[in-house]
Amino acid sequence: MPNVLTHNINVLASVTTSSLTAWRGCMVVSQAEQPEKPLVLYDMEACPYCRRVREVLTALHLDADIRPCPKGGTRFRDEAKAIGGKLQFPLLVDENTGKVLYESRDIVEYLFRQYGGRPVPRVYRARAYQPVLGSVASAASGLRGMRAKPAKAPEQPLHLWSFEGSPFARLVRERLCEYEIPYTVHNIGKEHWSELGPAKQRIKPGTYQPLPGGKREIFFGRHQRVQVPYLEDPNTGAAMFESAQILKYLDDTYGS
């Protein structure tokens, strides 16, 4: 297993990142229906502007195909430039409407209008201080998920169940970005106040029951718990919870 002390320090740093971003990307604001074709996000995990978009994907319960584009990466950056004309991230591609969007402010507005059917909520509106605070939040996590590291490419994208504000899921997304491993993020944000708190000790006492009809109920039906991160790798058949275990798996399977 990874060095336990180092892992715990990274978890605490990730908690700091979530705190500095006011824990956005934890609660679901609107239950949007998944579009027919998946949204595609060319993304850099440590970029504060990309983080704003990922927060909104969680807030709307939207899944997306993530194409990691860390600095020094070679797998998706040329593809992103060919689509949008420049190397700038985030880059959202929505084949359902033909939209290709840069600028986090524009993407946030588009997602809420197109899939939430509403204006941008106050907590997700752009503020003058956000770029600075977002950069500090990225620094708190050691700028992990910023630069590419040598790694093998999987034949098929992986699947990650996550929500943006989760400190544990962030550690996995950072590694996936550094390794330039494409994945589908299945957002399962908290759907009700009773789900606040860690998976093993929520604020509401008693047996946990997800809201009927939600994505969490489907997940609970499969696993008898709702906990992130949860990774599935169709290339190997591996499936696992626990960030430390997932990080070791990614290092052993794809790290060079």
Q: Render pLDDT for 9-43 as a digit per residue (tens, 0 to 9).
A: 998 989 999 999 989 999 999 989 999 999 999 99
**Residue 89 placed within a domain:** yes
Q: What is the mean pLDDT of the chain?
A: 93
* DSSP track, 136-200: HHHHHTTTTTSB---BPPPSS-EEEEE-TT-HHHHHHHHHHHHTT--EEEEE--B-SGGG-S-TT
Q: Is residue 179 part of a domain?
A: yes
Tell me, yes or no, whether 218 lies in a domain: no
Which pLDDT band, with edges at 50, 70 and 90, does 1 fall under? very low
Residue 219 lies in a domain: no
Crossing angle of helices 130-140 and 48-59, rounded to 10° = 90
Residues 6+ positions from 154 with CB-CB distance below 8 Å: 181, 182, 233, 235, 254
Residue 108 backbone dihedrals phi, psi, to 5 degrees: -60, -45
23 lies in some domain: yes
| Cis peptide upstream of residue 38 (ω within 30 degrees of 0) | no
In terms of residue numbers, what domain contains 89? Answer: 4-188+228-254
Distance CA(44)–CA(51), nearest Å, equals 8
Residue-wise pLDDT tens digits, 29-79: 998 999 999 999 999 999 999 999 999 999 999 999 999 999 999 999 999
Is residue 100 domain-resident? yes
Helix, strand, or coil (residue 18): helix
Distance separating alpha carbons of residues 196 and 203, to the nearest angstrom: 6
Residue 220 lies in a domain: no
Please check whether residue 148 is in contact with residue 73, taking contact to mean a CB–CB distance below 8 angstroms.
yes
Residue 151's beta-bridge partner residues?
A: 255
- Is residue 213, in this structure, part of any structural domain at all? no
CATH of the domain at 245: 3.40.30.10
What is the pLDDT confidence band of residue 230, given thresholds at 50, 70 and 90?
very high
pTM of the full structure: 0.94
Number of domains forming the structure of the chain: 1
For 164-176, what is the mean pLDDT? 97
- Residue 217, number of CB atoms within 10 A of its CB: 14
For residue 2, pLDDT beyond 60: no
Nearest of 148, 140, 133 to residue 9 by alpha carbon: 140
